[in-house]
Every structure is written in C-alpha cells, then in structure tokens.
Structure 1
Amino acid sequence: MKKLLPVQMPLAYAYQFYAYPLTILANHAKASDWVLSHYVNVVYEHSWKTAPVPFAFYTYDYSQSPWLETLRLNREWCTSTPGRTIDDYVREAIDRDFYVYLTLNFRYIPDRIAYDRAQDYPHDIMIYGVDDQDGTYSVLGFDHEIMYRSTRLPQDDLLTAYTSMGSDPYYDVPFTMYRYNDRGEYTFDLRFVADSIEEYLESHNCSAHFQSLRDPWWDRAYGMATYDVLQSYLDEYHAGSVEYDIRNLQVLWEHKRMMVARLARCAELVPPVGDLVDPYKQVERQAWTLRTLMLAHAAGHKAGDFMTEAKPLLDGIRATEQRLLGRFVACLDEASPTAGRRRP
C-alpha cells in the first residue's frame, strides 16, 4: 500500500490540536469561509504558569467543522478486537481517506525531541500517509527542531509508540479520524463576523455561549484583556522568573495573521473594509517582529534590554488593533445592520 493524503501549511499552527484540522482544510478553498468565521477570539488562563495551554484561540471543540467528518475511538475500543492492532486501524483509516490523530510515545518517534531518551514522552501527532515500499508512515507535527513539518515513522515502531506510554499520567488524545467532507455547507455571515469581532474587543467570555454543553470558563481572560496577561508573562520572562515559551507570541502573531485573511475576505463583500487591510498588515508584521525578537533573545543573539523593545511593540499592537477593529465592526455594521446583537 502506498497512499499520501494532502496537507498544506495552515494559517495557525501553534498548537497541534487545532493545527491538524486547519492543515486538512487548507487544501480546500471552499472551507475558507468557515475558518475565517471562527478563530476570532482568544483565551488566556490567569493561572498560565501551570496551564498546559496558557494562551490560544478559543474554540469549543477543535475537531468540529461542517467540512470535516470526524470519528473518535478510545484505547479500549482499539484494543478490544483480537488480532487487530493499531497498525490495522491506521492503515484502514488512511485507505478510506481519513487522517489519524492520536497519542504516541515520542521516545519511539524519530525526529522528535524525546526520541531514544530514557523518559517516556506521550504527545499528540497526526498520521497522513502509508508507504509499504520503504516501510514508513508519514507523520506531521513539531519535530526535534520545533518546526511544524512532515517526517517519517518506521512502521515497526508504531505499535511500540502507541502501547508503551509509561506509568505517568498523560493527556490521551482519542484515536481521532478526520476526513474532508466535500458536501459541507456554510454561509459566510457578515453579522456573525461583526458580533465575533465586537466580542473580542469587549473581552467577552465567549465560552458562555456553550453553557448548555459545558460549564463556562470564568477564570480566564478573553479578547483584548489577554494583552494584560501576555504582558505579565513577558515581564516575568524578562525578570528570569519563568521559562522561555515562544507559543505565547506565536499565538499572538497567528491571531493577527488570521485577521488579515478575514479582513481581505470581508473586503470582497464590503469594499470600505479594503482600506483597513494594509494598516492591519502592519499590526501583523509588528507581532511577527515581537516574536522574532523573543526568539533572538532566547537564542542569545539579541543583546540589551529585551523589554525596552518588546513593551512598546506590544503596546503599539494593542492600540492600533483596537482602533482598526473598531472601524472594521463599523464597516460591517453599516453593510449588515440589524435591530440587535445575536449574543446575550
């Protein structure tokens, strides 16, 4: 068997749990309106020092999209049929055009930071190809150089990497299968986009929308309020009291990158929005510069006071974004007026 499902670099990829669905959808232009209608708000845990995902886009369920068929199995199910192994499930899934998202022990995954080390390191990964000729699976994720890209996993190592998790507790991603659903439907709604942007500007707790399904996350900052928490992280990093974690500034940049694409799409429908695209691209470049500054500082390539440059950059991003997104909402309000907001 030799089969490779398509993957494409997504707009956002700081965390693999949302990077993988976006990687699949990036291959299909018709899914773009759904992506750009979401990934608007962000959430930051006040207890960020101990949180596994301190700062990220807010999504109720990263795996759900009208353009994805999503199936989930647990480990009990995957080991309940005599004679069938994880290899059988993976091969059958890929043969049926499903991408496989699961947890493996990175001690047994080449080109990962924990490969061949003494400690177990369970982590999520996605398998998207099989090649019996060279005896490998194609996998995607952050490699040993912390680059989001494809590598090869010897087929003989999959079973060991799946079953040998060690004795420590870990977050076990269910055996999740994604398949692109070409029959999906989604209407790009300017009113919904405007409401979502306004929620971001007002730091609205968007998790409250899903209270019928799960308790809201009240102990977190949302939207513009996340800047204060991010500033706290940068202050403590500069003081040497917390470790370097580029994911925080990666998420900041990804949020601006996604917003540029959203503005460009809305400009196709509401021409005045076009005046905001280039100014907001400058916000995105400032976020990229801040991220690069931290990378250089952590690598020892940047001398001087980190916060002398970082704080004005972050303050400028916050102020300019608030002004531009306020104008964005006003443009959409004028193009799609309603008697009242949809949200509570």
Structure 2
Amino acid sequence: MSRRILAVSYPLVSVYPKHAIPFSILSCYDSSQAWIYSNYIQLRCSKTFLAYHPSDAFDFFTLYPEFYENSFFCSERVTADSLTNWYPYAVNFFVDCINRGLYLYTHVDEFWIPGTAAYQRKHFPHAVLVYGYDHAAGTLHIGGFDQVKYSFREVAYDQFEAAIQGIVQHKHQPNSRHSDHHNFTYMLRTDGSSGYRLDLAWIADQLWDYLSSSNTSGRFRSIANQADDYYGLAVYDKLEQYYEQEIRETHEVDLRPLFLLWEHKKIMLRRLAFLEEHGSLSYGGFASPYTAVERKAGNLLNRFIKSRLVSGNSPDYAILGILKELTASMKAEEETILARVLEQINND
C-alpha cells in the first residue's frame, strides 16, 4: 500500500494536545456525542498557578489515564526506547500501525517539525497525532500545534524520524524538559462504537460540583488521591488573578486559559442544545440564553489577542477592566442558567 489516511475531524476541544488528539478521532463519530456531552463539564485550576505556571494550570477536569477509561478506544502503548530498538527506522513503525487501522498518539521533538514555534529554535517535546502516510510524497500526516493553533498537515519522513530520535536523545540530556509521559507512543483503535449512553445523573453531579466549586477529583479516589486544586466557578476569580499578575509583571501573556474558557462555553452550549434536542431539557429554554455566555467568552479572547498584537509585552491595564467586567457578567449569567438546568434534571 502506497498511501493510507485514517479519518480525522477538527476537534471540538483543542486547547491542549491531550484533548485535541482524541477529539480529532471522536469528532468523526456521532455515536461519541453521548460520552462527550456527559463529560467535559468541570474546570480546574492548579493551586500553583501564580508561583509555578504549569503549562496546563487551567484545564478541564477529566480523567485520561492512557485512554483506558474511554470506551471508544482500544489502546496499547510502547516506550520510545522500545520503539526505536525494534524499528531502527521509526517511520516504518508508524506506517505499519496505520496499515492496521491504528492512530498514533506520540511525542516528538518539535525542533525538527516545520511550522511549530520550536522549529530550529529549541528542543521541545510535544504530542502529535499520526493518522496517515503517503509514500509517493514521502510524508506522514499529523495533527498537532503549529505556531498558533492545532492543525492537520504533512511532515517529511526524514524530519519526523529526527523528531522521534530526538525524544530518545533529549531525555538523557542534563536539565531535560523530558517528562515520563513523553516516553510513550499510544496506539489507538476505534470503530466509533462503545455502547456509552447519555448519563444525566453524572451530568447533574458535575454541574453541582461546578456551581459549588467542589473538588470533583474526590469522586475518583479509587484511581488517584484527591487533588488539592480550585474547581468550578472559583476558576473565574483565579483567571483574574493570573492575568493581573502576568500583565503587571510584563510577562508574555499566555492566551490558553482564555481559550480554555471559550472552549468550555462552546462545548457547554452544544451540550445544552443536545439535551434539548433529545428531550432531556425543555426545548429553547437553556441553549438560547447561554449563547450570550459563549459569545462573551469569545469576545474576551479576541480582545486579549488584539491587545497583545497592539501592545506586545507592554502592560495594558485597560484590558484588566474588560477582563473583570466580562468574567463577572459571564459568571453571573452562567450560574443562573446552569442552576436551572440542574434543577430540571433533578426534578425529572
């Protein structure tokens, strides 16, 4: 076989690779909607967000331990050392897996991947999806982040090979940014079916946690100890603190927390429309008013993008006022609407 491209679709959630990559596959299947809309409700914020600045300090609260709990995927994993020992030319491994209908969630050194922010600038381990190949063009088809956003594109075999070998080499360097999770390539198979049914009780539990800023991780103590983070509506206040510090200290402003906020409102809006369409909520009573919340989150993100383009790293104190005004409005409107949603689900 000289060419094979597995199905992908632009992901509904793309703020971080751990969401964007599985959603690139799940978004191809209408059958995944029940699982998607039963999850991705809660938000979390690391308590170290002001001092340490972890890359995913603000995130959805979801459990993704190697995809095992997602019933849509059958998954296997292999370490970078094993992969390169078994396949001296690693590209052959990816081609073989694609021919078996497997998607590859792997980690590469983006120093070797054109179009990324790290290309030829710094060694940077990052996750990508490999979903196709073309021998005639000498390229693999990948999903990953370019300099701005998640996108699908092609990368030459030799460049991808160097990026895989770079992961093996980079982890042994002093002061390496390599983490244990960079070590793995995951092989994912799905036929788009899982038998997962919409779980209104679980939706209600998460909505309660979100509205009360309760620690949802405590519901999963059989898997991991409770995480001491901020949750739910409390994340709005942490966003304000984060951006106030970033702007006053003239750090380069990270837009991902605002992108996360917008994606949370986007998927919540689609969830409400889905529940209305399927008779789980009164039609027209929730999605329509929630549109204003999603629009404000998008407006806030766009205002920050414009501010960064105009002022660069110079402090823009006016944007802080816009942030506080819009987040206060969003928080109040969202709390009112979702409290009504929770009340109807509990009373039905």
Q: Once the two structures are aligned, what percentage of the paired residues are identical?
A: 26
Separation of aligned partners in 1, 2:184 and 2:226: 23
- Note the C-alpha offset of 1:273: 5.3
- Note the C-alpha offset of 1:241: 4.5
- Note the C-alpha offset of 1:48: 1.2
Contact 1:111 1:151 in 2 (8 A): no
Match of 1:53 in 2: 56
Separation of aligned partners in 1, 2:332 and 2:252: 27
Separation of aligned partners in 2, 1:104 and 1:189: 36
In the TM superposition, what are the counterparts of 1:67-86 in structure 2 within 5 Å?
Answer: 67-81=72-86, 84-86=88-90
Separation of aligned partners in 1, 2:263 and 2:269: 10
- What secondary structure, in the 3-state scheme, does the structure 1 residue paired with 2:137 have? coil
- Note the C-alpha offset of 1:201: 0.7
Contact 1:101 1:125 in 2 (8 A): yes
- What secondary structure, in the 3-state scheme, does the structure 1 residue paired with 2:322 have? helix
Contact 2:31 2:193 in 1 (8 A): no
Match of 1:187 in 2: 197
- Note the C-alpha offset of 1:173: 4.9
**Which residue identity lines up with residue 209 of structure 2 in the other structure?**
E
Match of 1:160 in 2: 162
**Which residue identity lines up with residue 116 of structure 2 in the other structure?**
R
In the TM superposition, what are the counterparts of 1:121-200 in structure 2 within 5 Å?
Answer: 121-144=124-147, 146-165=148-167, 166=170, 167=173, 168-171=176-179, 172-200=182-210
**Which residue identity lines up with residue 192 of structure 1 in the other structure?**
W
Separation of aligned partners in 1, 2:124 and 2:222: 35
Mean alpha-carbon deviation: is it higher for 20-29 or for 233-242? 233-242
* Alignment partner of 1:269 is 2:272: no
Separation of aligned partners in 1, 2:281 and 2:38: 18
Match of 2:240 in 1: 231
- Note the C-alpha offset of 1:304: 7.3
Q: CA RMSD in A?
A: 1.8
Structure 1: gaps (5+ residues): 336-344
1:247 to 253, 256, 259: 256
**Which residue identity lines up with residue 231 of structure 2 in the other structure?**
Y
Separation of aligned partners in 1, 2:100 and 2:344: 44
- Note the C-alpha offset of 1:110: 1.2
Separation of aligned partners in 2, 1:87 and 1:316: 50
Contact 2:80 2:183 in 1 (8 A): no
* Alignment partner of 1:29 is 2:30: yes
Contact 2:240 2:323 in 1 (8 A): no
2:115 to 98, 111, 118: 111
Mean alpha-carbon deviation: is it higher for 231-240 or for 50-59? 231-240
- Note the C-alpha offset of 1:132: 0.4
- Note the C-alpha offset of 1:233: 1.0
Match of 1:6 in 2: 7
Match of 2:328 in 1: 315
**Which residue identity lines up with residue 78 of structure 1 in the other structure?**
L
Mean alpha-carbon deviation: is it higher for 288-297 or for 92-101? 92-101
Separation of aligned partners in 2, 1:226 and 1:93: 40
In the TM superposition, what are the counterparts of 1:202-217 in structure 2 within 5 Å?
Answer: 202-217=212-227
* Alignment partner of 1:325 is 2:338: yes
Structure 2: gaps (5+ residues): none
- What secondary structure, in the 3-state scheme, does the structure 1 residue paired with 2:310 have? coil
Mean alpha-carbon deviation: is it higher for 225-234 or for 313-322? 225-234
Per-residue deviation, residues 299-336 of structure 1 (Å, max 9, x unmatched)? 1179871122221101000111011100010111122x
- Note the C-alpha offset of 1:234: 2.0
Separation of aligned partners in 1, 2:164 and 2:105: 12
**Which residue identity lines up with residue 16 of structure 1 in the other structure?**
P
Contact 2:106 2:129 in 1 (8 A): yes
Contact 2:213 2:232 in 1 (8 A): yes
**Which residue identity lines up with residue 291 of structure 2 in the other structure?**
K
- Note the C-alpha offset of 1:246: 0.5
- What secondary structure, in the 3-state scheme, does the structure 2 residue paired with 1:228 have? helix
Mean alpha-carbon deviation: is it higher for 301-310 or for 11-20? 301-310
Match of 1:97 in 2: 101
The number of residues matched between the two structures is: 331
Contact 1:75 1:175 in 2 (8 A): yes
Contact 2:32 2:193 in 1 (8 A): no
- Note the C-alpha offset of 1:178: 1.6
Separation of aligned partners in 1, 2:154 and 2:193: 32
Contact 2:4 2:98 in 1 (8 A): yes
Q: TM-score, normalised by structure 1?
A: 0.91
Mean alpha-carbon deviation: is it higher for 241-250 or for 257-266? 241-250
Runs of 4+ in structure 1 off by over 3 angstroms are 301-304
- What secondary structure, in the 3-state scheme, does the structure 2 residue paired with 1:245 have? coil
Separation of aligned partners in 2, 1:297 and 1:152: 32
